[in-house]
Chains A and B, each alone.
Chain A
Amino acid sequence: MARTILTVDGLTKRFGGLTAVDAAHLTVPEGQITGVIGPNGAGKSTLFDCITGITAPDAGSVRLGETELVGRAPHAIAHAGVGRTFQTPRIFEGMTVRENMAFAAVAQTGESVVGALARPGAVAAEEAETDARVDELLAFLTLDPLATAYAGELSGGQRKLLELGRVLMLDPTVLLLDEPLAGVNPTLGATIVDRLEALRTDGRTIVLIEHDLELVMRLCDTVVVLHHGATLAAGPPSVIRADPQVIDAYLGRMET
């Protein structure tokens, strides 16, 4: 039985009259890929927003291990070990791929005024370390030939890979990926899936939102279904696939 890395309990978020997330709950097991699915408007992205601190939930709790995340600032949550990517990658178009990656390096001496001016030795050493790590990750993501290209020039799939790479620089405890394959051509899509499986083999915990149900059933160890902001069902793909409530919610959209 895998350890639980992240627990979402009774999370609720209302926007005016609309309840986007309705007492949702979610248990994320370590070292697995958990898929979050649901019809459009089911509250999936909002759930991610609440977990990562972009939106403050109206009720409920999010626990990473023993740490309560609700109420903390987004950067603190990221620091605590939650890495998140967006549906439309928010990469820094004006910087090169390498700079994008290096940006994410954690707790650099060179990021403070005093450090940057007074400790050139430490800064140089850390930059070298960062460079090595960036090289490693870029190779892992097959982005190394693009290291010096401006991020703005990348294709959709390449941007997704870059965003994933950036978040991996944080060495996060759990990765929240919002539609990592949306709008990506099949070749790059296959690369992304392949890399996600490699990450799982490495022991990483991943939660992803996806609309490609076939892919989710193939790739994920656990599937959580959201409907109208509430958790409808959760379990292994084979169980979810046969669940009458889920089939109902999707009204025959799933192919068995």
Chain B
Amino acid sequence: MAIVTGWVAFVVTVATIACIYGLLTIGLNLQFGFTGLLNFGHVAFFAAGAYTAAIVSMPPPGTVPGARYMIGLAVPMPAGLLLTLAAATLMGGVLAALIGVSAIRLESHYLAIATFALAGIFYDVLVNERWLTNGTFGMTQVPKPLRATLGADAWALAYLLFAAATLAVVYLLVGRLLEAPFGRVLRGVRESTAAAEMLGKDTDRIKLVAFSLGGAIAGLAGGVYAHYIGSVVTGQFVAGVTFTVWAALLLGGVASHRGAVVGAFILVAFQQSTRFITTAYDAAVAAFPDTLGVVLTALAAPLPGHPAFLPSVRFMIIGLLFILVIRFRPAGVLGDPQEVTVMGSEE
């Protein structure tokens, strides 16, 4: 019975994280898939949202032992959830706008490096400005709304529904935008900024809007994440997150709105599956020590035993994903090859 409940809990966790990554991927798709802006710093917007939600909802520093941070606005839950998420979304958008204002005109390679560098600076700020972020110790008392009332299992399910609903709403809104002239303008700008300018479109402003919107959605994802995990720590916002979202986007299909969400789900399921593999392995060896167990142990024997092994293999596979998708199926699973070939055609 424990295995079944364990299973359900696992699926609920994976699905919730997948919804959050779905939001992140939609945001990146808006920036790169539809507008052609190469953003290698997406995690910064995610972090901005998460930390904002934390700062707005955390208890004041006086009440938390060992707190180095100085701002905790302690907005009450669950009513305050709307406020923290709105603040998170806004902060993601503002950070993106600030970065975008200067970087938006850079040619793609340079934009990639600039966004990567800016995310790096942002990370350093998060680590060093302890008065704001509590440094590497993190903000660990982010409230989980209604957790006490519902209890662990019911809350997990309820939060999944909440995250899924958020994803659905954003998905629909962005979908509407993409079908409207807004989407058409983005696609034209993506293919040829010069042609778009010649047709009277203010391409700088359009790119800035798309970039900021993508950042805002990432900020929202950060807020949802903060209240789910209940703690916001610098270690959660490393470059690996940016490139996991990229992997999701490439796999699902660049410039495919559905693809972004599908890619996110596949990738998160894959990521979380390594946890599952170790648990399944242990369970199998324990349940069948003389038959399957022997075989499995023998297979595992030559592999390095250090704990970083499985996660490394996971990351290697993600790396291979990048390589294989670009080489053999640039449109990913659901993308339109027609749309993908024109990307970067102005080079």
Q: What is the number of residues of chain B that contact chain A, defined by CB distance less than 8 Å?
A: 29
Separation of A123 and B185 alpha carbons in the complex (Å): 14
A117 at the interface (CB under 8 A from B): yes
C-beta contact mask, B196-209 vs A, less than 8 Å → 1, else 0?
11111111000001
Q: What A residues does B326 contact at CB under 8 A?
A: none
In the complex, the answer to whether A90 meets B180 with C-beta atoms within 8 Å is no
Inter-chain contact total with CB atoms closer than 8 Å: 100
In the complex, the answer to whether B342 meets A111 with C-beta atoms within 8 Å is no
A25 at the interface (CB under 8 A from B): no
A44 at the interface (CB under 8 A from B): no
**What range describes how many residues of A lie at the interface?**
35 or more
Which of B181, B191, B195, B339 has most A Cβ within 10 Å? B181
- Please choose the segment from A1-9, A62-70, A95-103, A199-207 that sits at the chain B interface, where 4 or more of its residues have CB less than 8 A away: A95-103
B338 at the interface (CB under 8 A from A): yes
Separation of A94 and B198 alpha carbons in the complex (Å): 18
Separation of A110 and B183 alpha carbons in the complex (Å): 9
Residue in contact with B177 in the complex, picked from A90, A92, A116, A150, CB distance below 8 Å: A116
In the complex, the answer to whether B188 meets A117 with C-beta atoms within 8 Å is no
Separation of A150 and B339 alpha carbons in the complex (Å): 10
Q: What A residues does B338 contact at CB under 8 A?
A: 94, 150, 152
User: Would you list which residues of chain B between 316 and 341 have a CB under 8 Å from chain A?
Assistant: 338-339, 341
Separation of A166 and B192 alpha carbons in the complex (Å): 14
B194 at the interface (CB under 8 A from A): yes
Nearest CB of A to B180, in Å: 4
Nearest CB of B to A131, in Å: 12
In the complex, the answer to whether A74 meets B181 with C-beta atoms within 8 Å is no
C-beta contact mask, A179-197 vs B, less than 8 Å → 1, else 0?
0000000000000000000
Residues of chain A at the chain B interface (Cβ within 8 Å)? 52, 54, 73-76, 78-79, 83-84, 86, 90-95, 99, 102-106, 108-113, 115-117, 123, 126-127, 150, 152, 166-167, 169-170
Ordered by A's residue number, 6 sampled pairs between the chains whose C-beta atoms are within 8 Å are A73-B202, A75-B203, A110-B181, A116-B176, A126-B181, A152-B342
Q: Nearest 6 pairs between A and B by C-beta?
A: A110-B181, A116-B180, A94-B342, A90-B195, A78-B200, A110-B180
